[in-house]
A and B are shown apart, each in its own frame.
Chain A
Amino acid sequence: MADHKPKGISRWLFTTNHKDIGTMYLVFSFIMFLVGGAMAMVIRAELFQPGLQFVEPEFFNQMTTLHGLVMVFGAVMPATVGLANWLIPMMIGAPDMALPRMNNWSFWILPAAFGLLLSTLFMDGGAPNFGWTFYAPLSTTYGPPSTDFFIFGVHLMGISSIMGAINVIVTVFNMRAPGMTLMKMPLFVWTWLITAFLLVMVMPVLAGAVTMMLTDRHFGTSFFDAAGGGDPVLFQHVFWFFGHPEVYIMILPAFGIASAIIPTFSRKKLFGYSSMVYATASIAFLSFIVWAHHMFTVGMPVKGELFFMIATMLIAVPTGVKVFNWIATMWRGSITYETPMLYALAFVILFTIGGFSGVMLALTPVDWQYHDTYFVVAHFHYVLFPGAIFGTMAAVYYWLPKWTGRMYDEKLAKWHFWLSIVFVNLTFFPMHFSGLAGMQRRVPDYAIMFSDFNMMSSIGAFGLGLMQLLFAWILIKVCILEKGEKATDRVWEDAEGLEFTHLPSPAPYHTFDTPPKID
């Protein structure tokens, strides 16, 4: 069948093709990744030495706030949605997503949302400065005027994510090729299906939280205002009821990616497929009953703290099952170390380190010391950068030849990996120590005893920032300059999955118009 695609800008504006939309999501998230990264550079430059050097404390607060928001909602989440768009229809043998027009809409809302959010940087009173968790009353009574733009931005991001998630659920349930039973689906599809359910459950709660903020700010309600009978602590409960599942929304797709890549380069089947599915589902369930572990210091009774501590530590069990399964998959495999595999391996090891510091933070008595220190920053950056982002990079290297029909520059990619691994650890590992010694988050200055660790972190961060430009160059070489060897249809030796076994490289614009046969 002819590969007919519309031309020019209208192709991208009006497209309903899952591959086009996936590409737009990925490009958008990469741009946001660079924007959020630039903000991180400002933060690390200021923290390079104690004292105030480059920016005012007010602007520093705006940077930490926007860095968090842009990275969470603009970089990590859209990147995984982009991967879902590209891969899920090909993996389950569907011609497209179930709701293609809604798909177009859910993407095009995002630039508007981030336009609103980033425009606050240029407003009187500055951008939001209350941290990405926007605790009341910092964001209600004391929020700058631009907070309202932030609120509507979050509304739009929520609508976009909800529509994207609904699309994934409907696609997975209704569009699978005959014979593709649920328990035959690749794990990436499974983890995304569960992620989509989490999104549908918690994004509306976030929308509710920001709506309450809006009415508190302008319409005389007092949901979070003690003077009117409300309670600021309630905000933290509502926020973290969204916020904790949110962290699994960001990491579950990466679990699915590792579960696709590790078997390919170990030349073995994934160990414990069904236990992987059940472990993912258990993690998703547990994520709803642990939210108050973010609030141990807020003044809870001992029984409450015990409950949230134990429930949180329970998450280590299904997560441990997954790590065990990845290791068992590699056990006695004929492993080769192409770039996707390197990233997947780094993901397993470094995500596990982030998981360990998570278990430490789950212990209520010690959390009282770690709370709001750089130890927390180290923890969540370990699960997000070498976790979610390395996972996404692994996916890009793994599927790029399938998308473009060309191999990326393996040599440069190896440089990208090895330097990233050095810089990522140089950036985030010293934060464990400065945090344990008591350095607080979100403060532009610090006691001189933290100087060495901060200088290391800053050097690492600048290196890590440069690495992303290298990544951009590797992608430009393949996607725009069209350089690189032609990829075979299978791309990797014996790669599994319909996209490798049933489709040529590059994958045609329209695939699986007639469903594939599945044995």
Chain B
Amino acid sequence: MSQEQVQNDNKVMTKKLFVVVIIMVAFGFAMVPLYDVFCQITGLNGKVNGLAVYEEQEPDTSREIKIQFMTINKGNMPWDFRPVQTEIKVHPGKEYEVLFAVKNRTGKKMIGQAIPSFSPNLTAQYFNKTECFCFNQQILAAGESEEMPMRFFVDKDIPERYDTITLAYTLHNVTPDDEQVAAK
């Protein structure tokens, strides 16, 4: 094989390999949506599937499941944040409403975002929220307080082995910075 031919082959192959590199960079980023889709199908990371609609149904009164509520302030989030009831007992198939109390203790307007997490993880897919403050950001003025509702029902086909579900909300400070808040 002549020298030019080898050099030409080298060029072609190098280009092909750089295409592989670019595909793998894209794959690295594609893992983000793939992961979300995967978690939504399997309910693995304890995320809920957005807003659910409650259809009138006969509750399963033979079962009682304990729902515990926890609140966590992320980092130095300076709000008071606590569940009004720390736990309730529910029948699968019946809709309930609970309240979470929140207060902005600071002297300025702030924005918070609560992120839910279920334990055990896999119960997330049986926990349907028909209304939740976690679907929106909370904007509280200085010193303002609020009682935020969360309405939910537990699926009737939740496996027998689950008798307790712990729902933890982590409140994050997502206030961008002072000017932007003022502009809102």
Contacts and interface: CB of A to CB of B under 8 A. Distances in A.
Nearest to B173: A227
A330 to B, nearest CB: 38
B44 A300 contact: yes
A389 B128 CA distance: 54
A206 B31 CA distance: 12
Contact of B115 (A98, A170, A173, A226): A226
A169 interface: yes
Sorting the interface of chain A by its residue count into under 10, 10 to 19, 20 to 34 or 35 or more gives 35 or more
A208 interface: yes
Given A170-B14, A226-B172, A241 B31 contact: yes
Contacts of B28: 204-209, 238, 241
B18 A166 contact: yes
A170 B10 contact: yes
Contacts of B6: 98, 174-175
B44 A301 contact: yes
Interface string B43-78: 011110000000000000000000000000011000
B86 interface: no
B181 to A, nearest CB: 15
Contact of B35 (A201, A227, A237): A237
Contacts of B25: 204-205, 207-208
B74 A227 contact: yes
Contacts of B162: none
Contact of A205 (B22, B24, B121): B24
B24 A228 contact: no
B70 to A, nearest CB: 15
Contacts of A299: 45-46, 121
Nearest to B176: A220
B80 interface: no
Given A200-B21, A204-B21, A99 B14 contact: yes
Contacts of B10: 98-99, 170, 174-175
A208 to B, nearest CB: 3
Contact of B17 (A170, A237, A304): A170
Contacts of A233: 45
Nearest to A141: B75
A162 B21 contact: yes
B97 to A, nearest CB: 25
Interface in B63-114: 74-75, 113
Sorting the interface of chain B by its residue count into under 10, 10 to 19, 20 to 34 or 35 or more gives 20 to 34
Nearest to B20: A200
A209 B30 CA distance: 11
A294 to B, nearest CB: 16
B132 interface: no
B174 A228 contact: yes
Nearest to A221: B32
Contacts of B113: 227-228
Given A209-B28, A231-B35, A237-B35, A170 B21 contact: no
Per DSSP, chain B at the interface is helix
B164 interface: no
Contacts of B21: 162, 166, 200, 203-204
Given A207-B25, A208-B25, A226-B170, A170 B13 contact: yes
Interface string A284-311: 0000000000000001110010000000
A404 B130 CA distance: 76
Contact of A208 (B17, B29, B42, B75): B29
A169 B35 contact: no
A201 B20 contact: yes
A223 interface: yes
Contacts of B170: 226
Contacts of B42: 301
Contacts of A166: 14, 17-18, 21
B9 interface: yes
A202 interface: yes
A159 to B, nearest CB: 10
Contacts of A228: 113, 174
B148 interface: no
A234 B18 contact: no
B31 A169 contact: no
29 contacts: A98-B14, A99-B14, A166-B17, A170-B10, A170-B13, A173-B13, A174-B10, A200-B17, A201-B20, A203-B21, A204-B22, A205-B24, A205-B27, A205-B31, A207-B28, A208-B28, A209-B28, A212-B29, A227-B115, A227-B173, A228-B174, A231-B39, A233-B45, A241-B31, A299-B46, A300-B44, A301-B42, A301-B121, A301-B122
Interface of A: 98-99, 102, 141, 162, 166, 169-170, 173-175, 200-209, 212, 223, 226-228, 231, 233-234, 237-238, 241, 299-301, 304
Interface of B: 6, 9-10, 13-14, 17-18, 20-22, 24-25, 27-29, 31-32, 35, 39, 42, 44-47, 74-75, 113, 115, 121-122, 170, 172-174
